[in-house]
Amino acid sequence: MPESEIALIGRALEGDQRAYTELTLRFKAAVFQIVFKIVRDRETANDLVQETFMKAFSSLASYRSEFRFSTWLYKIAANSSIDHLRKKRIQALSLDRKLETKDGSVEIEIPDYSYHPGRTLERKEQRLSIEEAIASLPVKYREVIVYRHKDDKSYEEIADLLNIPVGTVKARIFRARELLKKKLKNAL
């Protein structure tokens, strides 16, 4: 730690207002940056910078000189910012508990908009159409598509299983996909 910083802290501990001012001027910008990154609001950040310095100067006697003053001060700034966010946090409402009102307790019911019978039916029909299209492929194309897309096999694994070259596997998969596109274009 620079000697002048140690001297400033010593003078501040003795009540020297100019030492407080000098420490504030040296670290204000860095403290602001730390606080602003946490709270993301300039006005709140400015308030929290002031609060940080007030807390730091009121507990300056607890500062231990074997640590950097800036580290100690930045920790106070971060903690003040986090405390602010905790206080500001919106109160959560439990969906499992009844809500107590002046007229008694009420269960909270939330409508489920995620279920769409039409969409579910549509997906089922698409899946059936795709399965029918795959089933209608010639065997050599069907087996490579099933191995690749249903069983998630690599080209090399398919080549080993079918005892054919990898290039042939790739060509068959390409051809099978083209046939599926034609069949599904008409079906969907």
> Could you give the 3-state DSSP secondary structure of residue 99?
strand
Domain that holds residue 55: 3-88
Whether 93 is in a domain gets the answer no
Residue with tokens 């065997």: 139
Task: Please choose, from the candidates 48, 49, 52, 50, the residue with its C-alpha nearest in 3D space to the C-alpha of residue 72.
Answer: 52
| pLDDT for the residue 157 | 94
| pLDDT for the residue 3 | 53
Whether 81 is in a domain gets the answer yes
Q: What is the total residue count of the chain?
A: 188
Whether 101 is in a domain gets the answer no
Largest CA distance in the chain: 92
pLDDT mean by block of 10 residues, the chain; 188 residues? 77 91 94 94 95 94 88 94 85 68 76 76 82 90 92 93 94 93 77
Same domain, 23 and 82: yes
Determine the distance from the C-alpha atom of residue 59 to the mean position of all C-alpha atoms in its chain, rounded to a whole number.
36
Is the full-model pTM beyond 0.95? no
Span 35-87, pLDDT tens digits: 999 999 999 999 999 999 999 999 998 888 888 899 999 999 999 999 999 88
Average pLDDT, whole number, for the chain?
87
